[in-house]
Amino acid sequence: MEDVLLQIANACAQDASLLEIVRHVASMSDEEKALFKTKVKVYFLNRTGEIDLQAYEFFRLILEDKNAERVLQMLEEGSNQI
């Protein structure tokens, strides 16, 4: 799991819009995350394209536990090592 989160962190370092999504999810309360998770599941329910499946997996991962916060922490630690 850590390696996937690190991949997301690296992608966020390259893509400001992706980083903004992760920041927004990290700022959500548990209730907001649960509601958004339901909306994500409904949206991707009948989607079968490769890009859709990748997007669903991204949202599934960052909405789980404190993964969005962990991605931001990885980014911060990475920028401190430069």
Residues 21 and 25: their CA atoms lie apart, in Å, by: 6
Q: What is the pLDDT of residue 80?
A: 60
Length of the chain: 82
In the chain, the number of structural domains is 1
How much is the pTM? Answer: 0.88
Per-residue pLDDT of 46-81, as tens digits, reads 999 999 999 999 999 999 999 999 999 999 998 765
Domain range enclosing 41: 2-80
